[in-house]
């Protein structure tokens, strides 16, 4: 877009060309626009089982005190996280989802002339927050739809301060294994911080998947961001956290909003963390339904990327945005990936068996077929 203007004020030129984040279309909006009685949303990688009953109960209890400001330190939530992760309390900070923390990291560590290294098809918010900060994102092509960590290490120069890696990556679902991540950490100069976004780590069942928290325990220059929006089913409350050495987190606390994560989110997230059975059921459902959905898509001739997340990305062989619109008319919301430079691809969240069947029926009804 061009730099916005108004009758009285010309906005700063650094706003020109910035992309807006495109969220999944809300169910209610789709129903109103298209006059649909039922809509299945498989666009935002939400947990189809919803939140833990414990989290809902804790959220309801917290509503009684919403006339009070929340604990700005999120002490109870951070204490639960520290105990869960086996880390000191000062190694954990809470946020409004992991996206707020990613934004804070960019604001804190990127000076006007500094740059950040990002994979070409990585989580789009990485590029957006760097562009809003100083437009100095160094994009590195993927290799076989995976972060090319060796190439990213080579892209680091004297002005690089941050390297962003999503593992597993959204929207591709692909991941990097332990040796690759370790090699990247070893290759980074002392002034560079690795931002390791692990929003989907609970779903990762590859035995060689690296745990970023182990890197933090060893004192590596790494900040790990995670969220309660995915496997814990609390996307509507916005709760996330970052794990790093205290010196890194202290910088974030200086510039963050005074009261941070809201009180209801803090209570629900702490309760969700204690419900391991809900997490296990959510992961088991995802593993079963993802395998079925991938098989069904491949059986229809689509190229489907391997995924450690709770979603699948597949190539429709045509304009993905048009495929998205056609599915929407059948009451199924998926995610078009043209904002990621993947114009012929769609991302579909793994839902319940019924939701996935509805998606496949809609896919067949609109006669989308791969041209590969």
Over residues 365-371, the mean pLDDT reads: 64
Domains and CATH numbers, the chain: 13-50+277-365 (3.90.1150.10), 53-275 (3.40.640.10)
| DSSP H helical ranges for the chain | 27-34, 53-62, 75-85, 97-109, 124-133, 149-155, 178-187, 212-217, 246-255, 263-273, 276-299, 320-329, 353-365
With cut-offs at 50, 70 and 90, classify the pLDDT of residue 74.
Answer: very high
Question: Rounded to two decimals, what is the model's pTM?
Answer: 0.91
Average pLDDT over residues 99-121: 95
**Measured distance CA(77)–CA(260) in Å, rounded:** 12
Provide the percentage of residues in the chain whose pLDDT is more than 90. Answer: 82
Q: Which residues contact 310 (CB under 8 A, 6 or more apart)?
A: 45, 47, 200, 203, 230, 231, 286, 290, 349, 350
Write down the pLDDT at residue 371: 43
Distance CA 48, CA 309 (A): 14
- pLDDT tens for each residue of 186-198: 999 999 999 999 9
pLDDT tens-place string over residues 216-242: 999 999 999 999 999 999 999 999 999
- Residue pair 334/359 in contact (Cβ under 8 Å)? The answer is yes
Task: Please identify which residue in the block is written with the tokens 């689509």.
Answer: 302
């Amino acid at each position: 877009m061009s730099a916005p203007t108004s009758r009285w004020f010309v906005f700063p030129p650094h706003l020109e060309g910035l992309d807006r984040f495109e969220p999944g279309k809300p169910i209610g909006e789709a129903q109103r626009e298209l006059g649909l009685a039922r809509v299945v949303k498989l666009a935002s990688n939400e947990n189809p089982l919803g939140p833990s009953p414990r989290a809902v109960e804790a959220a309801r209890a917290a509503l009684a005190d919403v006339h009070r400001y929340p604990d700005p330190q999120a002490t109870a939530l951070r204490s639960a996280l520290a105990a869960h992760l086996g880390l000191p309390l000062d190694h954990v900070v809470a946020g409004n989802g992991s996206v707020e923390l990613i934004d804070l990291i960019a604001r804190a560590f990127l000076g006007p002339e500094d740059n950040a290294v990002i994979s070409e098809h990585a989580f789009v918010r990485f590029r957006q927050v760097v562009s809003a900060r100083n437009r100095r994102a160094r994009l590195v092509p993927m290799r076989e739809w995976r972060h090319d960590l060796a190439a990213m290490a080579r892209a680091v120069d004297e002005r690089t301060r941050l390297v962003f890696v999503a593992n597993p990556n959204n929207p591709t679902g692909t991941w990097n294994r332990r040796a690759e991540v370790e090699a990247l950490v070893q290759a980074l100069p002392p002034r560079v911080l690795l931002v390791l976004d692990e929003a989907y780590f609970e779903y990762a069942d590859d035995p060689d998947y690296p745990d970023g928290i182990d890197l933090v325990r060893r004192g590596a220059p790494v900040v790990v961001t995670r969220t309660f929006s995915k496997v814990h089913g609390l996307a509507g409350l916005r709760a996330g956290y970052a794990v790093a050495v205290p010196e890194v987190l202290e910088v974030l606390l200086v510039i963050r909003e005074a009261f941070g994560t809201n009180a209801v989110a803090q209570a629900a997230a702490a309760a969700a963390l204690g419900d391991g059975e809900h997490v296990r059921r959510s992961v088991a459902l995802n593993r079963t339904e993802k395998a079925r959905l991938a098989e069904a898509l491949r059986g229809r001739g689509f190229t489907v990327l391997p995924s450690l997340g709770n979603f699948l990305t597949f190539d429709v062989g045509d304009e993905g945005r048009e495929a998205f619109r056609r599915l929407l008319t059948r009451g199924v919301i998926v995610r078009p990936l043209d904002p990621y430079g993947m114009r012929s691809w769609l991302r579909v969240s793994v839902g319940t068996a019924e939701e996935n069947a509805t998606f496949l029926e809609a896919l067949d009804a609109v006669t989308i077929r791969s041209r590969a």
